[in-house]
């Protein structure tokens, strides 16, 4: 897929998407070494849960932002679904 030549109204969506990709990738790569060196092996499971929660919240934010781009759509359902998966 190609990116649009001009982002226009989708500029905030792409900014959040690219920031999330960058931050979550850095966090995922540094998670094992930082967690085990700083807090020990037992804390690795908790840090995985935190990373998964951030991933789900990022995806939920992207879905909500995409839904707001078209006034005929109401994608507010994404918020409760996101929190159901975060809770699990």
Q: For the segment 41-70, what is each residue's pLDDT rounded down to a tens digit?
A: 777 777 888 889 999 999 999 998 888 887
> Which phi and psi (to 5°) does residue 73 adopt?
-105, 145
The model carries a pTM of 0.78
- Higher model confidence: residue 29 or residue 35? 29
The predicted structure's pLDDT at residue 1:
67
Judged against a pLDDT cut of 90, whether residue 33 lies above it is answered with no
**Pair 48, 31: CB distance under 8 Å:** yes
Name the residue ranges covered by the structural domains of the chain.
10-87
The residue with tokens 């990709």 is 21
Judged against a pLDDT cut of 70, whether residue 87 lies above it is answered with yes
């Amino acid at each position: 897929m190609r990116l649009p030549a001009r982002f226009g109204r989708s500029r905030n969506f792409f900014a959040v998407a690219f920031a999330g990709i960058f931050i979550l990738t850095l966090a995922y790569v540094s998670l094992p070494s930082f967690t085990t060196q700083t807090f020990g092996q037992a804390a690795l499971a908790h840090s995985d849960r935190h990373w998964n929660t951030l991933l789900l919240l990022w995806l939920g934010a992207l879905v909500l932002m995409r839904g707001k781009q078209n006034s005929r759509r109401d994608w507010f359902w994404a918020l409760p679904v996101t929190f159901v998966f975060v809770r699990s």
